[in-house]
Chains A and B, each alone.
Chain A
Amino acid sequence: MQTIGDLLTAHPFFEGVDERLVRELERCSRNVHYRLGEYLFHEGESADRLLVIRRGRVALDVHVPGRGEVVVSTVDAGEVVGWSWFVPPYTWFFDARAVTEVSAVSVDATCLRDRCDADPVLGYTLMQRIAQVMYRRLQAARLRMLDVYEADHGG
C-alpha cells in the first residue's frame, strides 16, 4: 500500500530531490480525486494548495464574455497545477477543470509555506523546481502568442 510520501517521491516533479525533504511534505498532503468536468478551483478563490497530478488531464480555462470558456493550457499527469499559492494575494488566477478523471496529491499551501520557512533547503529546492517549470511554461505561452498558424499578419 503506497503512502502519500511514496506517491510524491515517485512523481516527476520531485525527481532528483532528496527523498527526506519530499517526505517532510507528507503531513501537508492528502489524496484527491476529481470526476470528469469537475472544477478543481475557480478564478478568485483562495489559492490554498499545490496539486501534484498523478493521473488524468486538467484544463486551465478562463471565462471570456462573448466567447465562453477559453482553455489557455492543459496540464497532464506528471506535472503540477497551481502557483498562486506562493504569490500574494494567494488567489487563483484561472479556473481549473478536470478534462478526464483526475487523481492528484493535494499539498496544503499554508503547511507548505511553513515547511519552506522552517527548512530553507526544502524551500530553495522547491523554488528551483517551480522556477524551471514556470520558465518552460512561459516560453511555450509566448510562442503561442505569436499565433504562428494564423495566415494573415497584415504584412
Chain B
Amino acid sequence: MAQTGSVTFDVEGLQDLLDVLGRRGFTVLGPTVRDRAVVPGRVRSIADLPAGWGDVQEPGSYRLRRRGDDALFGYAADAISWKAALFPAQELVWSGARTEDGFVAAAGHSPSTLGDPPYAVVGIRSCDLHALAVHDRVLMERGVPDAQYAERRRDAFLVTVVCSDPSGTCFCVSMQTGPRADSGYDLALTELLDGDHRFLARAGSERGEEVLAELATRRSTAGDESAAEGVVDRTIAHMGREMDTTGIRDLLYANAEHPRWDDVASRCLSCGNCTMVCPTCFCTSVDEHTSLSGGETEHWRIWDSCFSTDFSYLHGGSIRTSPRSRYRQWMTHKLASWFDQFGTSGCVGCGRCLTACPVGIDITEEVAAIRATPLPWPVVASAGEG
C-alpha cells in the first residue's frame, strides 16, 4: 500500500533532522549503544546512533551483532523500552516539612538524566509507539493523571522508524502494532539500503510537515516506494513469533485454574525482569524518605512489579503468595484484564519479556498451550454475573 506525499533524503539529511529538532528546542533522544546493548540515550549526531549494529534476540538471550552494512536502525527493539525516559523508575511526588501548624507539602520535580523536555524521540518503533499510546491512556486519560508523565509527554516529537530486522522474539504483527505505524507520530521513516543509503519519510502531523520542509529532500520515486514496501513485507514475513489473540480475554478469564499455570510457575523465578522491560507495565509503589529528625520527608514513586511478594500485601499476609498466582496475574492482566480496564490489549508484541526472561518463558507459547486444552466452560450460576 504505497503512501502518497512521501519524500526521500540521505544520511546527511538525517543529521539535518537532528539539528533542526535541536534548534527547535527539543532534547533529542534516540537509540544508542551502551553496555553492549541498544538503549535509549541522548543523540546529538548520527554518530551517536547504532550504525552497523543489529541484535539477536531469543527467549532468555540478547546480544548485538555486527551487520555487514552501515544501517543506523538495523536492530529490532531497544533492549529497554522508552518507558524509562518518560516514566522514570523513581519520581519525586511531593516533599514536605513540618511546621507549627502541622506540615506543608508541595508537588515535587525530579529531573531526568536524559535532559529536560520537550523530547524528540528519533527511532521509536511502531510497537513502542503503541506502547506510548497505551501509557497515555493509563497515565493521562483517566480520573487522576500522572502530572509528571504528562509534562514529559507533552509536545514530544516522535520520529518512528519502520522495523527492517525483526528478532526471534518479535510478534507485533499478531498484536496489530507493527511493523509500520499508521498514526501517532510526527514523522515516519523507512531506512533503505538498496543502492544509496537513504530514508523515505512521511509526515504524520503539521509539525512533521514543517520539519520536513526544513530539510533538503526530493520527492520519493516509485523505486523508493516499492523498496519501502518491500521492507515492510519482509519484516512481516520474518516475525519471530505469533500469538492467536482470538477471544483471548475470555480464554484467560475462564482458565484461571488451568494446569499450565503450574507448569509455568515451575519455571518462573518471579524475578520481575519482564515487568521492568515491558513498555506498558506501569505499576508503582511508594517510598517515604524521611530525615532523621522527622522534620522533612520526601514521597517518592518507584517502579514496582506484581511479581514482588508484598505487591498484594494486606495486614496478615499477601493475597498472591504463590509464584503461580503472580505469573497468572501478570499475564492475565497484560493480555486480558487490560481490555476491560483500558480498552486495548496491554501487549504490543515487542518481545522484550521473552528476551529478558532468564529462563526464557514465552507468553506466546503459554497462550497457545492454554488455548490448545482449555478447561470446560464453567456452568454459569445466574445471568448477569460478571
Decide if A and B touch, CB cutoff 8 A. yes
Q: Choose the segment among A2-10, A132-140, A147-155 that binds chain B (4+ C-beta atoms closer than 8 Å).
A: A147-155
B275-322: which have CB < 8 Å to A? Answer: 315-318
- Given the complex, which residues of A lie within 8 Å of B317, measured CB to CB? 153, 155
- Given the complex, which residues of B lie within 8 Å of A151, measured CB to CB? 315-316
Task: Please report the C-alpha to C-alpha distance between residue A153 and residue B317 in the assembled complex, in whole angstroms.
Answer: 8
Q: How many A-B residue pairs have CB under 8 A?
A: 9
How many of chain A's residues have a CB under 8 angstroms from any CB in B?
Answer: 4
How many of chain B's residues have a CB under 8 angstroms from any CB in A?
Answer: 4
Chain A residue with minimal CB distance to B315?
A151
Task: Please report the C-alpha to C-alpha distance between residue A153 and residue B315 in the assembled complex, in whole angstroms.
Answer: 9
Q: Which of B315, B316, B318 has the most CB atoms of chain A within a 10 A radius of its CB?
A: B316
Task: Please report the C-alpha to C-alpha distance between residue A151 and residue B317 in the assembled complex, in whole angstroms.
Answer: 10
Q: How far is the CB of A91 from chain B (nearest CB, A)?
A: 39
A71-117: which have CB < 8 Å to B? Answer: none
Q: How far is the CB of B319 from chain A (nearest CB, A)?
A: 10
Task: Please report the C-alpha to C-alpha distance between residue A155 and residue B309 in the assembled complex, in whole angstroms.
Answer: 12
- Given the complex, which residues of A lie within 8 Å of B318, measured CB to CB? 155
Q: How far is the CB of B267 from chain A (nearest CB, A)?
A: 26
Chain A residue with minimal CB distance to B318?
A155
- Given the complex, which residues of A lie within 8 Å of B316, measured CB to CB? 151-153, 155
Chain A residue with minimal CB distance to B321?
A155
- Given the complex, which residues of B lie within 8 Å of A153, measured CB to CB? 316-317
- Given the complex, which residues of B lie within 8 Å of A155, measured CB to CB? 316-318
B7-38: which have CB < 8 Å to A? Answer: none
Q: How far is the CB of B196 from chain A (nearest CB, A)?
A: 66
Chain B residue with minimal CB distance to A148?
B316
Task: Please report the C-alpha to C-alpha distance between residue A155 and residue B316 in the assembled complex, in whole angstroms.
Answer: 5
Interface string of B340-382 (1 = CB under 8 A from A): 0000000000000000000000000000000000000000000
Task: Name B residues whose Cβ lies closer than 8 Å to a Cβ of A.
Answer: 315-318
Q: Which 9 A-B pairs have CB atoms at the shortest separation, nearest pair first?
A: A155-B317, A153-B316, A155-B316, A151-B315, A153-B317, A152-B316, A151-B316, A155-B318, A152-B315
Q: List 9 A-B contacts (CB under 8 A).
A: A151-B315, A151-B316, A152-B315, A152-B316, A153-B316, A153-B317, A155-B316, A155-B317, A155-B318
In the complex, given contacts A151-B315, A152-B315, A155-B318, what are 6 additional A-B residue pairs having Cβ atoms less than 8 angstroms apart? A151-B316, A152-B316, A153-B316, A153-B317, A155-B316, A155-B317
